[in-house]
Structure 1
Amino acid sequence: MKVYLSVDMEGVTGLTDPEEMHAGGRGYERGCELMTADANAVIEAAFLRGAEAVVVNDAHSSTKNLRVDLIDPRCTLIRGPYKPMRMGQGLDASFDAACFVGYHACAGTPNGVLNHTWMGKEIQNVWINGEISGETRLVAGYAGSLGVPVVLVTGDEAVCEEARALLGDVETVAVKKGIDKFSAELVPPARAQEMIGEATLRALDRRADFRPYTIEAPYTLAVEWNSTAIAASCANIPGVRLAGPRHTEFTTEDYGDIMALFGIFSMIAGTVACSSGVYG
Protein backbone atom coordinates (compact mmCIF):
# COMPACT_ATOMS: atom_id res chain seq x y z
CA MET A 1 0.00 0.00 0.00
CA LYS A 2 1.25 3.47 -0.94
CA VAL A 3 -0.09 6.51 0.91
CA TYR A 4 0.23 10.14 -0.19
CA LEU A 5 0.07 13.16 2.15
CA SER A 6 -0.48 16.74 1.02
CA VAL A 7 0.26 18.89 4.07
CA ASP A 8 -0.88 22.50 4.31
CA MET A 9 -0.41 24.73 7.37
CA GLU A 10 -3.47 26.88 8.06
CA GLY A 11 -5.42 23.87 9.35
CA VAL A 12 -2.63 22.54 11.55
CA THR A 13 -3.26 21.92 15.23
CA GLY A 14 -2.93 25.04 17.37
CA LEU A 15 -2.40 27.64 14.65
CA THR A 16 -4.61 30.71 14.11
CA ASP A 17 -2.28 33.67 13.49
CA PRO A 18 -1.09 34.72 10.01
CA GLU A 19 2.31 35.39 11.60
CA GLU A 20 2.60 31.66 12.26
CA MET A 21 2.28 30.85 8.57
CA HIS A 22 5.43 32.53 7.22
CA ALA A 23 9.15 32.35 7.92
CA GLY A 24 10.24 35.12 10.24
CA GLY A 25 6.79 35.56 11.72
CA ARG A 26 5.99 35.31 15.40
CA GLY A 27 5.44 31.63 16.24
CA TYR A 28 6.44 30.30 12.81
CA GLU A 29 9.12 27.90 14.05
CA ARG A 30 6.75 26.36 16.57
CA GLY A 31 4.14 26.20 13.84
CA CYS A 32 6.50 24.12 11.72
CA GLU A 33 6.95 21.71 14.62
CA LEU A 34 3.18 21.37 15.03
CA MET A 35 2.75 20.89 11.28
CA THR A 36 5.34 18.11 11.34
CA ALA A 37 3.68 16.45 14.34
CA ASP A 38 0.29 16.38 12.57
CA ALA A 39 1.94 14.79 9.53
CA ASN A 40 3.78 12.29 11.69
CA ALA A 41 0.50 11.15 13.27
CA VAL A 42 -0.73 10.14 9.80
CA ILE A 43 2.59 8.59 8.77
CA GLU A 44 2.82 6.46 11.91
CA ALA A 45 -0.73 5.17 11.46
CA ALA A 46 -0.11 4.40 7.79
CA PHE A 47 2.89 2.23 8.63
CA LEU A 48 0.93 0.56 11.41
CA ARG A 49 -1.56 -0.48 8.75
CA GLY A 50 1.14 -1.96 6.56
CA ALA A 51 2.04 0.85 4.21
CA GLU A 52 5.06 0.05 2.08
CA ALA A 53 5.67 3.70 1.20
CA VAL A 54 4.43 7.07 2.42
CA VAL A 55 5.21 10.18 0.38
CA VAL A 56 4.73 13.55 2.05
CA ASN A 57 4.38 16.79 0.08
CA ASP A 58 4.95 20.07 1.91
CA ALA A 59 2.11 22.04 0.32
CA HIS A 60 2.22 25.38 2.16
CA SER A 61 3.58 28.66 0.79
CA SER A 62 7.38 28.29 0.43
CA THR A 63 6.90 24.50 0.79
CA LYS A 64 9.89 24.51 3.12
CA ASN A 65 7.95 24.27 6.38
CA LEU A 66 7.97 20.65 7.51
CA ARG A 67 10.92 19.96 9.78
CA VAL A 68 13.22 17.55 7.96
CA ASP A 69 14.92 16.65 11.24
CA LEU A 70 11.62 15.79 12.94
CA ILE A 71 9.67 14.07 10.16
CA ASP A 72 9.14 10.31 10.53
CA PRO A 73 12.25 8.74 8.94
CA ARG A 74 10.24 6.03 7.20
CA CYS A 75 8.59 8.48 4.78
CA THR A 76 10.01 10.48 1.90
CA LEU A 77 9.47 14.23 1.83
CA ILE A 78 8.93 16.55 -1.14
CA ARG A 79 9.88 20.15 -0.33
CA GLY A 80 10.97 23.34 -2.04
CA PRO A 81 9.23 25.97 -4.19
CA TYR A 82 8.19 26.00 -7.86
CA LYS A 83 7.13 22.35 -7.95
CA PRO A 84 5.15 21.84 -11.18
CA MET A 85 2.12 20.24 -9.49
CA ARG A 86 2.36 22.34 -6.33
CA MET A 87 -0.06 20.99 -3.70
CA GLY A 88 -0.31 17.71 -5.61
CA GLN A 89 3.38 17.24 -6.38
CA GLY A 90 4.45 13.59 -6.31
CA LEU A 91 0.94 12.20 -6.63
CA ASP A 92 0.43 9.59 -9.33
CA ALA A 93 -1.77 6.61 -10.12
CA SER A 94 0.37 4.22 -8.09
CA PHE A 95 -1.02 5.47 -4.76
CA ASP A 96 -3.80 3.65 -2.94
CA ALA A 97 -4.92 6.58 -0.80
CA ALA A 98 -4.41 10.32 -0.41
CA CYS A 99 -4.61 12.25 2.86
CA PHE A 100 -4.96 16.03 3.20
CA VAL A 101 -3.44 17.30 6.46
CA GLY A 102 -3.70 20.83 7.85
CA TYR A 103 -6.16 21.98 5.18
CA HIS A 104 -8.46 25.00 5.47
CA ALA A 105 -11.83 26.12 4.10
CA CYS A 106 -12.26 28.01 0.85
CA ALA A 107 -12.29 31.79 0.61
CA GLY A 108 -15.30 33.45 2.22
CA THR A 109 -16.29 30.55 4.48
CA PRO A 110 -17.91 31.85 7.69
CA ASN A 111 -15.85 30.88 10.75
CA GLY A 112 -13.25 29.25 8.53
CA VAL A 113 -9.89 29.68 10.24
CA LEU A 114 -7.49 31.49 7.86
CA ASN A 115 -9.94 30.78 5.02
CA HIS A 116 -8.71 31.51 1.49
CA THR A 117 -8.25 29.74 -1.82
CA TRP A 118 -4.69 29.18 -3.01
CA MET A 119 -3.57 32.75 -2.31
CA GLY A 120 -4.52 35.29 0.35
CA LYS A 121 -6.04 38.60 -0.67
CA GLU A 122 -5.28 38.19 -4.39
CA ILE A 123 -7.99 35.58 -5.12
CA GLN A 124 -11.64 36.18 -4.25
CA ASN A 125 -13.18 33.02 -5.72
CA VAL A 126 -12.30 29.97 -7.80
CA TRP A 127 -14.64 27.77 -9.84
CA ILE A 128 -14.06 24.52 -11.69
CA ASN A 129 -16.76 23.73 -14.24
CA GLY A 130 -18.96 26.35 -12.63
CA GLU A 131 -18.74 25.00 -9.08
CA ILE A 132 -17.09 27.03 -6.34
CA SER A 133 -13.86 25.36 -5.34
CA GLY A 134 -11.48 25.52 -2.41
CA GLU A 135 -8.17 23.73 -2.16
CA THR A 136 -9.83 20.52 -1.00
CA ARG A 137 -11.82 20.27 -4.23
CA LEU A 138 -8.91 21.43 -6.39
CA VAL A 139 -6.49 18.81 -5.10
CA ALA A 140 -9.12 16.06 -4.71
CA GLY A 141 -10.02 16.65 -8.36
CA TYR A 142 -6.39 16.13 -9.32
CA ALA A 143 -6.18 12.95 -7.23
CA GLY A 144 -9.41 11.73 -8.79
CA SER A 145 -8.10 12.35 -12.30
CA LEU A 146 -5.32 9.90 -11.41
CA GLY A 147 -7.72 7.38 -9.87
CA VAL A 148 -6.62 8.01 -6.27
CA PRO A 149 -9.27 8.41 -3.54
CA VAL A 150 -8.99 10.95 -0.71
CA VAL A 151 -9.55 9.08 2.56
CA LEU A 152 -8.69 11.68 5.24
CA VAL A 153 -8.93 15.45 5.69
CA THR A 154 -7.73 17.27 8.82
CA GLY A 155 -8.10 20.95 9.69
CA ASP A 156 -10.76 23.14 11.26
CA GLU A 157 -14.46 22.31 11.52
CA ALA A 158 -15.25 24.37 8.42
CA VAL A 159 -12.92 22.43 6.10
CA CYS A 160 -14.15 19.14 7.55
CA GLU A 161 -17.72 20.14 6.65
CA GLU A 162 -16.53 21.20 3.21
CA ALA A 163 -14.76 17.86 2.71
CA ARG A 164 -17.75 15.76 3.75
CA ALA A 165 -20.09 17.72 1.49
CA LEU A 166 -17.70 17.13 -1.38
CA LEU A 167 -16.34 13.63 -0.75
CA GLY A 168 -19.09 11.96 1.25
CA ASP A 169 -18.16 9.73 4.20
CA VAL A 170 -14.49 10.70 4.22
CA GLU A 171 -12.67 10.51 7.55
CA THR A 172 -12.19 14.02 8.97
CA VAL A 173 -10.52 15.43 12.07
CA ALA A 174 -11.44 18.90 13.32
CA VAL A 175 -8.52 20.11 15.41
CA LYS A 176 -10.11 23.55 15.95
CA LYS A 177 -13.44 25.34 15.75
CA GLY A 178 -13.37 28.73 14.12
CA ILE A 179 -14.62 31.76 16.01
CA ASP A 180 -13.63 34.03 13.16
CA LYS A 181 -10.94 34.04 10.50
CA PHE A 182 -8.13 34.59 12.99
CA SER A 183 -9.45 32.98 16.17
CA ALA A 184 -10.54 29.51 17.16
CA GLU A 185 -11.29 27.12 19.99
CA LEU A 186 -8.42 24.62 19.88
CA VAL A 187 -7.96 20.96 20.66
CA PRO A 188 -4.59 20.69 22.47
CA PRO A 189 -1.86 19.17 20.29
CA ALA A 190 -1.39 15.88 22.14
CA ARG A 191 -5.09 15.02 21.88
CA ALA A 192 -5.44 16.39 18.35
CA GLN A 193 -2.59 14.27 17.05
CA GLU A 194 -4.04 11.22 18.78
CA MET A 195 -7.34 11.93 17.00
CA ILE A 196 -5.52 12.27 13.66
CA GLY A 197 -3.78 8.93 14.14
CA GLU A 198 -7.03 7.18 15.08
CA ALA A 199 -8.84 8.63 12.06
CA THR A 200 -6.03 7.52 9.75
CA LEU A 201 -6.30 3.98 11.05
CA ARG A 202 -10.05 4.00 10.42
CA ALA A 203 -9.60 5.46 6.94
CA LEU A 204 -7.05 2.87 5.86
CA ASP A 205 -9.04 0.02 7.42
CA ARG A 206 -11.94 0.91 5.12
CA ARG A 207 -10.12 2.30 2.12
CA ALA A 208 -12.10 -0.04 -0.12
CA ASP A 209 -15.15 2.10 0.73
CA PHE A 210 -13.71 5.17 -0.96
CA ARG A 211 -13.90 6.12 -4.61
CA PRO A 212 -11.87 8.76 -6.43
CA TYR A 213 -13.52 12.18 -6.64
CA THR A 214 -13.93 12.89 -10.33
CA ILE A 215 -14.80 16.04 -12.23
CA GLU A 216 -15.95 15.58 -15.80
CA ALA A 217 -13.60 16.82 -18.53
CA PRO A 218 -13.14 19.29 -20.11
CA TYR A 219 -12.10 21.30 -17.08
CA THR A 220 -12.77 25.03 -16.99
CA LEU A 221 -10.93 26.94 -14.30
CA ALA A 222 -12.38 30.38 -13.53
CA VAL A 223 -10.71 32.79 -11.11
CA GLU A 224 -12.03 36.05 -9.68
CA TRP A 225 -9.04 38.18 -8.74
CA ASN A 226 -9.01 41.19 -6.45
CA SER A 227 -7.28 43.29 -9.10
CA THR A 228 -7.80 44.17 -12.74
CA ALA A 229 -4.00 44.30 -13.08
CA ILE A 230 -3.59 40.69 -11.95
CA ALA A 231 -6.37 39.48 -14.24
CA ALA A 232 -4.91 41.33 -17.23
CA SER A 233 -1.42 39.98 -16.53
CA CYS A 234 -2.60 36.38 -16.13
CA ALA A 235 -4.61 36.68 -19.37
CA ASN A 236 -1.29 36.97 -21.23
CA ILE A 237 -0.66 33.27 -20.57
CA PRO A 238 -1.51 31.30 -23.73
CA GLY A 239 -4.93 29.68 -23.36
CA VAL A 240 -6.05 31.98 -20.54
CA ARG A 241 -8.80 34.40 -21.52
CA LEU A 242 -10.10 37.52 -19.82
CA ALA A 243 -13.75 36.86 -18.99
CA GLY A 244 -14.38 40.11 -17.12
CA PRO A 245 -12.42 43.00 -15.61
CA ARG A 246 -11.17 40.81 -12.75
CA HIS A 247 -11.99 37.33 -14.12
CA THR A 248 -9.90 34.83 -16.05
CA GLU A 249 -10.89 31.48 -17.54
CA PHE A 250 -8.93 28.52 -18.83
CA THR A 251 -10.18 25.23 -20.32
CA THR A 252 -8.24 21.98 -20.71
CA GLU A 253 -8.69 18.23 -21.10
CA ASP A 254 -5.81 17.52 -18.69
CA TYR A 255 -6.41 18.26 -15.01
CA GLY A 256 -2.68 18.47 -14.46
CA ASP A 257 -2.77 21.72 -16.45
CA ILE A 258 -5.01 23.21 -13.75
CA MET A 259 -2.47 22.45 -11.02
CA ALA A 260 0.44 23.74 -13.08
CA LEU A 261 -1.41 26.90 -14.07
CA PHE A 262 -2.12 27.79 -10.46
CA GLY A 263 1.62 27.81 -9.84
CA ILE A 264 2.13 30.30 -12.66
CA PHE A 265 -0.85 32.35 -11.51
CA SER A 266 0.66 32.55 -8.02
CA MET A 267 3.98 33.89 -9.30
CA ILE A 268 2.33 36.53 -11.49
CA ALA A 269 -0.27 37.59 -8.94
CA GLY A 270 2.26 37.70 -6.13
CA THR A 271 4.58 39.90 -8.17
CA VAL A 272 1.81 42.31 -9.16
CA ALA A 273 0.43 42.51 -5.63
CA CYS A 274 3.79 42.93 -3.92
CA SER A 275 4.85 45.72 -6.26
CA SER A 276 1.54 47.56 -5.88
CA GLY A 277 1.84 48.60 -2.23
CA VAL A 278 -1.49 49.52 -0.66
CA TYR A 279 -3.16 49.00 -4.05
CA GLY A 280 -2.12 45.33 -4.25
Structure 2
Amino acid sequence: MKVFVSVDMEGISGLTDPEEMRAGGRGYERGCELMTGDANAAIRAAFDAGATEVVVTDSHSSGKNLRADLIDERCTLIRGPYKPMRMGEGLDPSFDAALYVGYHARAGTPGGVLNHTWMGSEIRDLYLNGEIAGEIRLMAAYAGSLGVPVALVAGDDAACAEAREVLGDVTTVAVKKGCGRYAAELIPPARAQQLVYDATGRALAGLDRARPYTVPAPYTLGVDWASTSIAHACSIVPGVKLAGPRMTEFTTDDYEQIVGLLGVWSTIAGEVGCTGLHYG
Protein backbone atom coordinates (compact mmCIF):
# COMPACT_ATOMS: atom_id res chain seq x y z
CA MET A 1 0.00 0.00 0.00
CA LYS A 2 1.29 3.44 -1.02
CA VAL A 3 0.02 6.47 0.94
CA PHE A 4 0.28 10.20 0.21
CA VAL A 5 0.06 12.71 3.07
CA SER A 6 -0.53 16.43 2.42
CA VAL A 7 0.05 18.53 5.54
CA ASP A 8 -1.23 22.09 5.96
CA MET A 9 -0.78 24.13 9.14
CA GLU A 10 -3.94 26.03 10.06
CA GLY A 11 -5.73 22.83 11.06
CA ILE A 12 -2.90 21.48 13.23
CA SER A 13 -3.59 20.68 16.88
CA GLY A 14 -2.77 23.44 19.35
CA LEU A 15 -2.55 26.30 16.83
CA THR A 16 -4.91 29.29 16.52
CA ASP A 17 -2.78 32.41 15.95
CA PRO A 18 -1.64 33.62 12.50
CA GLU A 19 1.76 34.42 14.07
CA GLU A 20 2.20 30.69 14.70
CA MET A 21 1.88 30.06 10.96
CA ARG A 22 4.39 32.65 9.79
CA ALA A 23 8.18 32.27 9.74
CA GLY A 24 9.55 34.75 12.26
CA GLY A 25 6.25 35.02 14.10
CA ARG A 26 5.88 34.41 17.82
CA GLY A 27 5.34 30.68 18.35
CA TYR A 28 6.21 29.67 14.78
CA GLU A 29 9.01 27.27 15.70
CA ARG A 30 6.77 25.50 18.19
CA GLY A 31 4.05 25.48 15.54
CA CYS A 32 6.39 23.62 13.18
CA GLU A 33 7.00 21.01 15.88
CA LEU A 34 3.26 20.55 16.42
CA MET A 35 2.71 20.30 12.66
CA THR A 36 5.36 17.61 12.47
CA GLY A 37 3.74 15.81 15.41
CA ASP A 38 0.35 15.61 13.68
CA ALA A 39 2.02 14.49 10.46
CA ASN A 40 3.98 11.80 12.29
CA ALA A 41 0.78 10.45 13.85
CA ALA A 42 -0.68 9.87 10.38
CA ILE A 43 2.59 8.51 8.98
CA ARG A 44 3.05 6.07 11.85
CA ALA A 45 -0.53 4.86 11.52
CA ALA A 46 -0.09 4.36 7.77
CA PHE A 47 2.97 2.18 8.26
CA ASP A 48 1.27 0.29 11.07
CA ALA A 49 -1.67 -0.33 8.70
CA GLY A 50 0.67 -1.96 6.18
CA ALA A 51 1.91 0.89 4.00
CA THR A 52 5.14 0.10 2.19
CA GLU A 53 5.72 3.72 1.12
CA VAL A 54 4.54 7.04 2.54
CA VAL A 55 5.21 10.31 0.72
CA VAL A 56 4.62 13.54 2.64
CA THR A 57 4.37 17.03 1.16
CA ASP A 58 4.62 20.24 3.19
CA SER A 59 1.56 22.15 1.96
CA HIS A 60 1.72 25.35 4.00
CA SER A 61 2.95 28.67 2.64
CA SER A 62 6.67 28.37 1.80
CA GLY A 63 6.59 24.59 2.18
CA LYS A 64 9.43 24.82 4.70
CA ASN A 65 7.52 24.15 7.90
CA LEU A 66 7.70 20.43 8.64
CA ARG A 67 10.80 19.64 10.67
CA ALA A 68 12.96 17.42 8.48
CA ASP A 69 14.96 16.38 11.56
CA LEU A 70 11.83 15.27 13.44
CA ILE A 71 9.73 13.70 10.68
CA ASP A 72 9.30 9.91 10.74
CA GLU A 73 12.46 8.60 9.09
CA ARG A 74 10.56 5.96 7.11
CA CYS A 75 8.72 8.50 4.94
CA THR A 76 9.84 10.61 1.99
CA LEU A 77 9.42 14.36 2.61
CA ILE A 78 8.76 16.91 -0.14
CA ARG A 79 9.38 20.49 0.98
CA GLY A 80 10.18 23.92 -0.39
CA PRO A 81 8.37 26.75 -2.23
CA TYR A 82 6.90 26.92 -5.74
CA LYS A 83 6.26 23.21 -6.08
CA PRO A 84 4.39 22.81 -9.41
CA MET A 85 1.44 20.97 -7.82
CA ARG A 86 1.72 22.80 -4.49
CA MET A 87 -0.41 20.92 -1.94
CA GLY A 88 -0.54 17.89 -4.23
CA GLU A 89 3.13 17.70 -5.16
CA GLY A 90 4.31 14.10 -5.32
CA LEU A 91 0.87 12.56 -5.83
CA ASP A 92 0.38 10.27 -8.83
CA PRO A 93 -1.92 7.39 -9.85
CA SER A 94 0.30 4.80 -8.15
CA PHE A 95 -0.98 5.81 -4.69
CA ASP A 96 -3.73 3.89 -2.93
CA ALA A 97 -4.87 6.72 -0.64
CA ALA A 98 -4.40 10.39 0.16
CA LEU A 99 -4.50 11.75 3.72
CA TYR A 100 -5.08 15.46 4.32
CA VAL A 101 -3.75 16.57 7.72
CA GLY A 102 -3.93 20.07 9.23
CA TYR A 103 -6.53 21.25 6.72
CA HIS A 104 -8.90 24.17 7.32
CA ALA A 105 -12.29 25.43 6.16
CA ARG A 106 -12.77 27.63 3.10
CA ALA A 107 -12.90 31.43 3.27
CA GLY A 108 -15.95 32.86 4.99
CA THR A 109 -16.84 29.74 6.99
CA PRO A 110 -18.38 30.82 10.34
CA GLY A 111 -16.28 29.48 13.21
CA GLY A 112 -13.64 28.07 10.88
CA VAL A 113 -10.27 28.48 12.58
CA LEU A 114 -8.03 30.60 10.33
CA ASN A 115 -10.49 30.03 7.48
CA HIS A 116 -9.30 31.10 4.03
CA THR A 117 -8.95 29.71 0.54
CA TRP A 118 -5.44 29.20 -0.84
CA MET A 119 -4.27 32.71 0.18
CA GLY A 120 -4.70 34.80 3.29
CA SER A 121 -6.88 37.63 1.99
CA GLU A 122 -6.42 37.95 -1.76
CA ILE A 123 -9.10 35.37 -2.68
CA ARG A 124 -12.70 36.03 -1.64
CA ASP A 125 -14.14 32.86 -3.18
CA LEU A 126 -12.97 30.08 -5.47
CA TYR A 127 -15.22 28.02 -7.75
CA LEU A 128 -14.70 24.66 -9.40
CA ASN A 129 -17.17 23.98 -12.23
CA GLY A 130 -19.45 26.57 -10.69
CA GLU A 131 -19.41 25.12 -7.16
CA ILE A 132 -17.81 27.07 -4.35
CA ALA A 133 -14.62 25.32 -3.33
CA GLY A 134 -12.06 25.44 -0.58
CA GLU A 135 -8.76 23.63 -0.51
CA ILE A 136 -10.47 20.39 0.53
CA ARG A 137 -12.65 20.21 -2.59
CA LEU A 138 -9.88 21.52 -4.82
CA MET A 139 -7.27 18.99 -3.74
CA ALA A 140 -9.72 16.09 -3.40
CA ALA A 141 -10.63 16.71 -7.04
CA TYR A 142 -6.94 16.66 -7.96
CA ALA A 143 -6.51 13.31 -6.21
CA GLY A 144 -9.68 12.09 -7.88
CA SER A 145 -8.43 13.09 -11.32
CA LEU A 146 -5.56 10.66 -10.68
CA GLY A 147 -7.89 7.93 -9.41
CA VAL A 148 -6.78 8.31 -5.78
CA PRO A 149 -9.37 8.47 -2.97
CA VAL A 150 -9.05 10.84 -0.01
CA ALA A 151 -9.25 8.53 3.00
CA LEU A 152 -8.81 11.04 5.84
CA VAL A 153 -9.21 14.74 6.57
CA ALA A 154 -7.88 16.07 9.89
CA GLY A 155 -8.30 19.67 11.04
CA ASP A 156 -10.74 21.82 12.99
CA ASP A 157 -14.41 20.90 13.27
CA ALA A 158 -15.42 23.24 10.43
CA ALA A 159 -12.89 21.63 8.08
CA CYS A 160 -14.22 18.20 8.99
CA ALA A 161 -17.80 19.31 8.30
CA GLU A 162 -16.72 20.71 4.93
CA ALA A 163 -14.94 17.45 4.09
CA ARG A 164 -18.05 15.41 4.83
CA GLU A 165 -20.18 17.83 2.80
CA VAL A 166 -17.87 17.43 -0.20
CA LEU A 167 -16.72 13.82 0.11
CA GLY A 168 -19.58 12.13 1.94
CA ASP A 169 -18.60 9.24 4.19
CA VAL A 170 -14.93 10.17 4.58
CA THR A 171 -13.09 9.60 7.87
CA THR A 172 -12.50 12.90 9.66
CA VAL A 173 -10.88 13.86 12.93
CA ALA A 174 -11.38 17.25 14.58
CA VAL A 175 -8.43 18.35 16.70
CA LYS A 176 -10.07 21.65 17.74
CA LYS A 177 -13.43 23.42 17.72
CA GLY A 178 -13.54 26.98 16.49
CA CYS A 179 -14.70 29.79 18.77
CA GLY A 180 -14.08 32.27 15.95
CA ARG A 181 -11.48 32.75 13.27
CA TYR A 182 -8.59 33.15 15.70
CA ALA A 183 -9.69 31.15 18.73
CA ALA A 184 -10.56 27.54 19.41
CA GLU A 185 -11.39 25.00 22.06
CA LEU A 186 -8.34 22.79 21.80
CA ILE A 187 -7.70 19.12 22.33
CA PRO A 188 -4.17 19.01 23.81
CA PRO A 189 -1.73 17.96 21.07
CA ALA A 190 -0.68 14.64 22.61
CA ARG A 191 -4.30 13.48 22.74
CA ALA A 192 -5.14 15.06 19.37
CA GLN A 193 -2.26 13.23 17.74
CA GLN A 194 -3.53 9.96 19.16
CA LEU A 195 -6.91 10.74 17.59
CA VAL A 196 -5.20 11.34 14.24
CA TYR A 197 -3.35 8.04 14.59
CA ASP A 198 -6.54 6.13 15.45
CA ALA A 199 -8.57 7.76 12.66
CA THR A 200 -5.87 7.07 10.08
CA GLY A 201 -5.85 3.41 11.05
CA ARG A 202 -9.64 3.20 10.67
CA ALA A 203 -9.53 5.01 7.34
CA LEU A 204 -6.94 2.71 5.83
CA ALA A 205 -8.59 -0.40 7.23
CA GLY A 206 -11.74 0.57 5.31
CA LEU A 207 -9.93 1.67 2.17
CA ASP A 208 -11.77 -0.89 0.04
CA ARG A 209 -14.91 1.23 0.51
CA ALA A 210 -13.26 4.54 -0.43
CA ARG A 211 -13.94 6.04 -3.82
CA PRO A 212 -12.12 8.90 -5.59
CA TYR A 213 -13.90 12.24 -5.65
CA THR A 214 -14.44 12.94 -9.33
CA VAL A 215 -15.37 16.18 -11.05
CA PRO A 216 -16.35 15.83 -14.71
CA ALA A 217 -14.11 17.46 -17.31
CA PRO A 218 -13.83 20.06 -18.67
CA TYR A 219 -12.73 21.80 -15.48
CA THR A 220 -13.44 25.48 -14.96
CA LEU A 221 -11.58 27.33 -12.22
CA GLY A 222 -13.11 30.64 -11.19
CA VAL A 223 -11.64 33.04 -8.65
CA ASP A 224 -13.35 36.05 -7.13
CA TRP A 225 -10.38 38.19 -6.13
CA ALA A 226 -10.22 40.86 -3.44
CA SER A 227 -9.26 43.55 -5.93
CA THR A 228 -9.70 44.51 -9.57
CA SER A 229 -5.94 44.95 -9.90
CA ILE A 230 -5.28 41.30 -9.03
CA ALA A 231 -7.97 40.10 -11.43
CA HIS A 232 -6.59 42.17 -14.30
CA ALA A 233 -3.01 41.05 -13.61
CA CYS A 234 -4.04 37.37 -13.56
CA SER A 235 -6.10 37.73 -16.73
CA ILE A 236 -3.02 38.27 -18.88
CA VAL A 237 -2.11 34.59 -18.54
CA PRO A 238 -2.93 32.90 -21.88
CA GLY A 239 -6.26 31.10 -21.81
CA VAL A 240 -7.56 33.11 -18.84
CA LYS A 241 -10.55 35.43 -19.22
CA LEU A 242 -12.07 38.15 -17.09
CA ALA A 243 -15.54 37.04 -16.07
CA GLY A 244 -16.29 40.17 -14.02
CA PRO A 245 -14.47 43.15 -12.52
CA ARG A 246 -12.77 40.92 -9.92
CA MET A 247 -13.35 37.47 -11.43
CA THR A 248 -11.04 35.36 -13.56
CA GLU A 249 -11.88 32.03 -15.19
CA PHE A 250 -9.90 29.28 -16.87
CA THR A 251 -11.17 26.06 -18.50
CA THR A 252 -9.17 22.95 -19.36
CA ASP A 253 -9.47 19.18 -19.70
CA ASP A 254 -6.26 18.69 -17.68
CA TYR A 255 -6.72 19.08 -13.91
CA GLU A 256 -2.98 19.51 -13.39
CA GLN A 257 -3.34 22.81 -15.24
CA ILE A 258 -5.97 23.89 -12.68
CA VAL A 259 -3.62 23.32 -9.75
CA GLY A 260 -0.59 24.69 -11.58
CA LEU A 261 -2.39 27.84 -12.72
CA LEU A 262 -3.69 28.53 -9.23
CA GLY A 263 -0.08 28.47 -8.06
CA VAL A 264 0.88 30.97 -10.78
CA TRP A 265 -2.12 33.16 -9.96
CA SER A 266 -1.24 33.17 -6.26
CA THR A 267 2.30 34.31 -7.06
CA ILE A 268 0.94 37.17 -9.15
CA ALA A 269 -1.71 38.04 -6.57
CA GLY A 270 0.84 38.09 -3.78
CA GLU A 271 2.92 40.67 -5.62
CA VAL A 272 0.00 42.85 -6.71
CA GLY A 273 -1.81 42.56 -3.40
CA CYS A 274 1.23 43.59 -1.40
CA THR A 275 1.42 46.88 -3.29
CA GLY A 276 -2.21 47.93 -3.47
CA LEU A 277 -4.74 45.50 -2.04
CA HIS A 278 -6.34 48.03 0.30
CA TYR A 279 -7.52 50.11 -2.67
CA GLY A 280 -9.73 47.27 -3.96
| TM-score interval for Structure 1 and Structure 2 normalised by the shorter chain | over 0.9
User: Which amino acid is the alignment partner of residue 65 of structure 1?
Assistant: N
**Structure 1 position 120, deviation (Å):** 1.0
* Cross-structure match for 2:16: 16
**SS of match in other structure, 2:107:** coil
* Cross-structure match for 2:167: 167
Q: How does 1:13-52 map to 2 (within 5 A)?
A: 13-52=13-52
**Structure 1 position 276, deviation (Å):** 2.2
Identity %: 69
**SS of match in other structure, 1:54:** strand
* Cross-structure match for 2:260: 260
**Structure 1 position 274, deviation (Å):** 1.1
CA-based RMSD: 0.8
* Cross-structure match for 1:224: 224
- Partner Cα distance (1:112, 1:277) in 2: 23
- Partner Cα distance (1:33, 1:278) in 2: 34
- Partner Cα distance (2:243, 2:61) in 1: 28
- Partner Cα distance (1:18, 1:123) in 2: 17
User: Which amino acid is the alignment partner of residue 67 of structure 1?
Assistant: R
- Partner Cα distance (2:265, 2:249) in 1: 12
- Partner Cα distance (2:150, 2:143) in 1: 7
User: Which amino acid is the alignment partner of residue 160 of structure 2?
Assistant: C
User: Which amino acid is the alignment partner of residue 119 of structure 2?
Assistant: M
**Structure 1 position 279, deviation (Å):** 3.4
User: Which amino acid is the alignment partner of residue 166 of structure 1?
Assistant: V
Post-superposition CA distance 1:5-34 (Å, at most 9, x none): 000000000110000111000100000000
* Cross-structure match for 1:158: 158
Contact 1:273-1:279 at 8 Å conserved across structures? no
**SS of match in other structure, 1:233:** helix
**SS of match in other structure, 1:57:** strand
Give TM-score scaled by structure 2 length: 0.99
Please identify, of 269-278 and 231-240, the stretch whose mean Cα deviation from structure 2 is larger.
Answer: 269-278
Post-superposition CA distance 1:100-147 (Å, at most 9, x none): 000000000000000000001100000001100000000000000000
**Structure 1 position 186, deviation (Å):** 0.3
Contact 1:104-1:114 at 8 Å conserved across structures? yes
Q: How does 1:93-172 map to 2 (within 5 A)?
A: 93-172=93-172
Q: How does 1:175-186 map to 2 (within 5 A)?
A: 175-186=175-186
**Structure 1 position 166, deviation (Å):** 1.0
**SS of match in other structure, 1:276:** helix
**SS of match in other structure, 1:33:** helix
User: Which amino acid is the alignment partner of residue 188 of structure 1?
Assistant: P
**SS of match in other structure, 2:179:** strand
- Partner Cα distance (1:129, 1:201) in 2: 33
Post-superposition CA distance 1:77-98 (Å, at most 9, x none): 0000111000100000000000
User: Unpaired runs of 5+ in structure 1?
Assistant: none
**SS of match in other structure, 1:248:** strand
Contact 2:117-2:134 at 8 Å conserved across structures? yes
Q: Does 1:271 align with 2:248?
A: no
- Partner Cα distance (1:279, 1:188) in 2: 41
User: Unpaired runs of 5+ in structure 2?
Assistant: none
- Partner Cα distance (1:277, 1:19) in 2: 21
Contact 2:227-2:277 at 8 Å conserved across structures? no
Give TM-score scaled by structure 1 length: 0.99
Contact 1:163-1:170 at 8 Å conserved across structures? yes
Alpha-carbon spacing, 1:277–1:148, altered in 2? closer, same or farther (3 Å): closer
Post-superposition CA distance 1:235-272 (Å, at most 9, x none): 00001100110000000000000100011011100000
Q: How does 1:28-107 map to 2 (within 5 A)?
A: 28-107=28-107
- Partner Cα distance (1:195, 1:279) in 2: 44
- Partner Cα distance (2:176, 2:200) in 1: 18
